[in-house]
């Protein structure tokens, strides 16, 4: 809840995570998205601002639909929060909208679903462009095999085999609502929506699907990994470069602004951008 005299502000945020050691501020002083954003907003407020986010992304991971909130006594227009923050932010972080929220809103705990996209560039030659914004796979990928394997993940399961060893989630039980794979020339987009995700869950799923797509394992291997509930059996964790948090969903009462789904370089592909 919001203390007396304060108001709660929610922001939409997008960033390229390549230069940062993840979202969360760290004691070691390494650059993080949270630190940069708090510094920029504190300049706008002329007082310290502390942020809470919908999902803490790892080092190298990007976002086009992150949601954060903070409480403040300071009176600023919504435009001032957006434009003022952006003036003080580096080129790879942007605030996209601001909204005054009711006291019971919470960016993390009120979220009902989260959606990620993992973008793979599949070609024998590594790309010179977008090198930190896609994951390069040089072996040919069979998307149909990957789609067949992905079917095993739909619904509610124990995702212990897909969580990082340092994951702090209380339960490995999560529900995947959809997992789509689409191909666009040399790019393959994995689009996944769930009620919540474990630490490294999307990257571990991508790693297993890539292994199956390259023919190194059979389609049914994914089910064996899932049922085995052992992280050690799940293969490698895919690189962070192609991963984007593209949307966080909340109950309709909060009526948060919605932008098109990212990342930006996919915006010319209607079947990728569409909110399927």
Q: Which positions are annotated as active-site residues?
A: 58
Query: Based on the number of CB atoms within 10 Å of its own CB, is 211 exposed (0-12), middle (13-18) or buried (19 or more)?
Result: buried
Three-state SS for 165-206 is: CCCCCCCCEEEEEEEEEEEECCEEEEEEEECCCCCCHHHHHH
Within 13 A of 214's CA, how many CA atoms are on the CB side?
14
119/136 Cα distance (integer angstroms)? 9
Contact yes or no for 250/256 (Cβ under 8 A): yes
Q: How many other CB atoms sit within 10 Å of the CB of residue 102?
A: 12
């Amino acid at each position: 809840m919001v203390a007396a005299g304060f108001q709660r502000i929610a922001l939409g945020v997008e960033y390229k995570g390549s230069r940062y050691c993840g979202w969360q501020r760290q004691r070691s002083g390494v650059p993080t998205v949270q630190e940069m954003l708090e510094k920029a907003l504190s300049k706008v407020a002329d007082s310290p601002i502390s942020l809470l986010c919908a999902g803490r992304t790892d080092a190298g991971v990007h976002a086009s639909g992150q949601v954060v909130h903070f409480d403040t006594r300071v009176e600023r227009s919504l435009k001032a929060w957006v434009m003022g923050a952006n003036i003080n932010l580096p080129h790879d972080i942007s605030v996209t909208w601001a909204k005054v929220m009711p006291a019971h809103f919470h960016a993390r705990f009120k979220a009902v679903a989260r959606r990620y996209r993992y973008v793979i560039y599949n070609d024998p030659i590594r790309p010179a462009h977008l090198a930190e914004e896609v994951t390069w796979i040089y072996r040919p990928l069979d998307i149909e095999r990957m789609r067949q394997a992905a079917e095993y993940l739909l619904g509610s399961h124990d995702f212990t085999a897909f969580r990082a060893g340092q994951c702090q989630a209380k339960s490995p039980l999560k529900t995947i609502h959809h997992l789509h794979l689409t191909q666009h020339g040399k790019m393959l987009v994995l689009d996944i929506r769930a009620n919540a995700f474990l630490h490294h869950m999307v990257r571990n799923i991508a790693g297993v699907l890539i292994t199956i797509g390259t023919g190194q394992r059979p389609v049914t291997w994914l089910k064996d990994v899932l049922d085995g509930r052992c992280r050690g059996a799940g293969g490698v964790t895919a690189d962070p470069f192609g991963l984007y948090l593209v949307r966080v969903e909340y109950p309709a009462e909060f009526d948060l602004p919605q932008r098109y789904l990212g990342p930006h370089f996919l915006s010319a592909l209607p079947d990728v951008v569409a909110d399927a």
